[in-house]
Structure 1
Amino acid sequence: MRTTFMANAQNVQKEWFIVDAAGQTVGRLASQVAMVLRGKHKPTFTPHVDCGDHVIIINAEEVVFTGKKLEQKLYRHHTGYAGGLKEVAAKDMLQRHPERVLMHAIKGMLPKNSLGRKLLTNVRIYAGTEHNHEAQQPKELKF
């Protein structure tokens, strides 16, 4: 008789991975990191369970946009007040807060529910090469 495997919190094995974002395209990197965060690279993937791994991204300041996105892409948010729409160009966002560029891209590729919000806590993004997760002994992940 065949049985179906469904992961739950007790039988999920989580690992730590480190990704070097230097020279990588923002969208391509974000889609691959989102897949690892979700756990789709594992044979035990279960859609409604957090079975993904932890990902550390370094060198976020060295990511690349294709085409004219660096000048034309805008990040928008609203303050909640009348006339409170704020726009920041990708070029300015990459200079001031390079980790937010990748966080925004990865967030858009995760589910829009409570599981997606929980999965987003499993990614750590750093602008430079320094991070404080050596104790977790992360494995290098290449795309």
Structure 2
Amino acid sequence: MNKTYRLKRKDISSQWHIIDATDQPLGRLATRISSLMLGKHKPTYEPHLAMGDYVVVINSDKVIVTGQKFDQKIYYRHSGYPGGIRQRTFAEQMALDSRRVIEKAVKGMLPHNVKGRTLFKRLKVYSNDKHPHAAQLFEKSQKSKDAAIKKTVKSLKVEKKSEVQDTKEEELSGLNKMTKPQLIQFAEEKEIKIVKSAKKADIIIKIKDNL
């Protein structure tokens, strides 16, 4: 009886991704980041588990918006006191801290609960191309390289096995066209013992059984 496999928390493995925000539209960029952080790109995705990956975003100063959003998009916040509402345009926020623009866009696409707050900690945004996560990204690239090498070796083994199988099939298909002396000679080359008084059909069967 087949049972549906459910991923356990202990089986979750997270990877690191780096994304360059240069000339990337804010909305599309945030969608891509949130998808990686939620783990929806994984075939083992479980909606109740925090199984997303870590995302490093560089060059947040160079993110773009379409239309008139650069001057018309407004960010609101409130101090908590009466009359304490504050607002900034997209241009003002970019000049003050461009990282907050991407962080706010991604946060709005994550679940508004404990899972969302846990996943949001995996987002690392930097205004330029310098970041302290080279070690994590190198480990990921090394694993990818090792996996590619293993895949190449495996494919070469399969190709070699296929070539050997094709050669063997060609030899077997040509047995029926050989005369009895040719079959005996072929058997001797393959170190297969054949009784010279044996019939042609029996020789072919014995060769096939020993190849």
Shared fold (TM-score, shorter chain, > 0.5): yes
* Structure 2 stretches lacking a partner, 5+ long: 142-211
- How far is the alpha carbon of 1:3 from its aligned partner? 2.0
Please list, as runs of the form range in 1=range in 2, the aligned pairs for 1:87-98 lying within 5 A after superposition. 87-98=87-98
3-state SS, counterpart of residue 47 of structure 1: coil
Larger radius of gyration: 2
**Paired AA for residue 87 in structure 1:** Q
Identity across matched positions, percent: 39
The two structures have a TM-score, normalised by structure 2, of 0.64
Please list, as runs of the form range in 1=range in 2, the aligned pairs for 1:79-90 lying within 5 A after superposition. 79-90=79-90
**Paired AA for residue 91 in structure 1:** A
Contact 1:45 1:51 in 2 (8 A): yes
Count of equivalent residues: 140
Contact 2:35 2:41 in 1 (8 A): yes
CA distance in 2 between counterparts of 1:96 and 1:8 reads 42
CA distance in 1 between counterparts of 2:78 and 2:126 reads 26
3-state SS, counterpart of residue 18 of structure 2: strand
Runs of 4+ in 1 over 4 A off after TM superposition: none
Contact 1:7 1:51 in 2 (8 A): no
1:135 aligns with 2:135: yes
The two structures have a TM-score, normalised by structure 1, of 0.94
**Paired AA for residue 34 in structure 1:** S
* Structure 1 stretches lacking a partner, 5+ long: none
- How far is the alpha carbon of 1:135 from its aligned partner? 1.2
Aligned to 1:23: 23
Residues 5-26 of structure 1 show CA distances to partners (whole Å, capped at 9, x for unaligned) of 2223200111011000000000
1:66 aligns with 2:66: yes
> Going by fraction, where is helix more abundant, 1 or 2?
2
- Which structure has more relative contact order (CA 8 Å, sep 6+)? It is 1
- How far is the alpha carbon of 1:88 from its aligned partner? 0.6
CA distance in 2 between counterparts of 1:64 and 1:72 reads 14
